[in-house]
């Protein structure tokens, strides 16, 4: 990976403007038959979305409240069903090594996230997750997780990675 690619992704992170979903408090609430399965596939009334651009758009207006997920606009708030988490991490870029590393993750909906104290990596039931924004998480795909493990360093029986000076445990080593 070139330094230019890493810097380009950092610039995209800093310049991306998302709708102010947290500020919108529409009076009209309901539900819509949209479902995101555990593999990150989006469905409407049982049919898989065929247009990635529509998924990417809906991802920008997604909000989590407790364990519920909603598509929110200034006019309405519609509950959807999410089996696990709404996004997948599909790529990773690394700058530096060991404790001096920085990790940028890319999601299946066009987000780029620099792992840090706010955008944490965590393990749940031996599955890796990344905090993307405002309580919305992404599950790392297997190939990205294997690449992440290659960046790990063993510390007192635990495999750990670092980004922006923050330590993230990937679990026990054998």
Residue 129 in this model has a pLDDT that exceeds 80 = yes
Residues 9-59 pLDDT 10s: 878 888 788 899 999 999 999 999 999 999 999 999 999 999 999 999 999
Residue 137 in this model has a pLDDT that exceeds 80 = yes
Residues 55-108 pLDDT 10s: 999 999 999 999 999 999 999 999 999 999 999 999 999 999 999 999 999 999
Among positive and negative, which fits the CA dihedral 112, 91, 69, 59?
A: positive
- pTM for this one? 0.91
Q: Which domains does the chain have, with CATH numbers?
A: 17-82 (3.10.540.10), 87-172 (2.30.270.10)
């Amino acid at each position: 990976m070139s330094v230019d690619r890493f810097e380009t992704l950092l610039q995209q992170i800093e310049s991306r403007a998302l709708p102010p979903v947290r500020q919108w408090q529409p009076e009209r609430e309901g539900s819509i038959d949209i479902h995101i399965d555990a593999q990150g596939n989006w469905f409407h009334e049982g049919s898989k979305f065929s247009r990635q651009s529509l998924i990417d758009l809906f991802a920008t207006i997604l909000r989590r409240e407790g364990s519920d997920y909603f598509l929110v606009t200034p006019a309405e708030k519609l509950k959807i069903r999410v089996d696990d988490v709404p996004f997948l991490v599909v790529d990773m870029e690394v700058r530096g090594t060991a404790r001096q590393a920085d990790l940028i993750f890319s999601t299946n909906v066009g987000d780029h996230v620099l792992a840090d104290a706010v955008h944490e990596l965590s393990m749940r039931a031996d599955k890796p997750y990344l905090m993307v924004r405002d309580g919305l998480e992404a599950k790392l795909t297997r190939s990205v997780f294997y690449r992440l493990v290659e960046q790990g360093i063993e510390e007192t029986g635990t495999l750990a990675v670092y980004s922006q000076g923050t330590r993230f445990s990937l679990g026990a080593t054998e």
